Amino acid sequence: MSDLKCVSVKYEKLESEWNKKKGRNMELVGSLLTELKLGLTELSFLPTESDELKKKELVLARNILEIGAQYGVETKDIPSFERYMAQLKTYYSDYPDLPKSSLKYELLGLNLLRLLSQNRLAEFHIELELLSIEAILNNPYISNPVALEQYIMEGTYNKILVMKDNVPSPRHAYFIDLLLITIRNEIGSCLEKAYEKISAPECAKMLYLNDKAMDGFVKERGWSIQPDQFVYFQATDKKTHEAEVPTLELAKMAITYAKEMEQIV
């Protein structure tokens, strides 16, 4: 069996397992992906007989990497997702003559969300510059992270929470959850620098946390809620540190919004 045929057969098995709506064997998927990555490496060193055959190899490789990227999200293995995307971007940008991928913009959008959730805003903008204006404005997979980044810069935390329930694909929700964790931690760091203590209810509103989640966050940060219903912060180093997300502005906006909501109620 030729190397291309062998990889194709394994890919068909991978695709069949991945497309199962119920009972998908993730362990088998992971195993097949490992085998196929090795197979693709060997395949890339073989001479091809024609342009058409080369195109088939490229599409096959792209399809495998796309399943790998989705697998990384499903298993919450972000480093794996990042590695698959690093390879996939080559197929998306360097081979315009390949048949269009239905997953291209969903995965590129997820990668943008990953960068946002990791507070890597400079890289986010670099990736954005590689996309067309049409995709940025009209493709929901791309416009979603673009809007989120705008909300972060504005400090309109409430809009991020609303957007979590209006995502273009279920996979987007996972990265928005990670983004919310990042933002909460940034606001928490800002509060520690700005106050020695703060009303527990007001703190919960700023962080958009219910009582149970607030208790967990307080313990995680090493804070304490005293009988007077104030959150007391640990003594922290007051030195400023560089952060791309505008934490002070974000916290101020969260405080303002929480107070406005309180007045409305």
Separation between Cα atoms, residue 211 and residue 222, nearest integer Å? 16
In tens, the pLDDT along 195-250 reads: 899 999 999 988 888 889 999 999 999 999 999 999 999 765 544 444 444 555 55
Cα–Cα distance for residue pair 98/58, rounded to 1 Å: 8
Tell me the CATH number of domain 3-181, given options 1.10.240.10, 1.25.40.990, 3.30.70.20, 2.40.50.140. 1.25.40.990
Please give the structure tokens belonging to residue 118.
């990791």
Residues with Cβ within 8 Å of residue 50, at least 6 apart in sequence: none
Encode pLDDT of 92-148 as tens digits: 999 988 999 999 999 999 999 999 999 899 999 999 999 999 999 999 999 999 999
Q: What is the pLDDT of residue 48?
A: 57
Angle formed at CA 187 by CA 184 and CA 193, multiple of 5 degrees: 145
Q: Where are the domains of the chain?
A: 3-181, 185-264
115: its two tokens: 């960068």
- What pLDDT is stored for residue 263 in this prediction? 46
Crossing angle of helices 3-18/51-74, nearest 10°? 30
Mean pLDDT value of segment 153-157: 82
Mean pLDDT of the chain: 86
**Residue 208: its pLDDT value, please?**
84
Q: Give the predicted TM-score (pTM) of the model.
A: 0.80
Per-residue pLDDT at 184 exceeds 70: yes
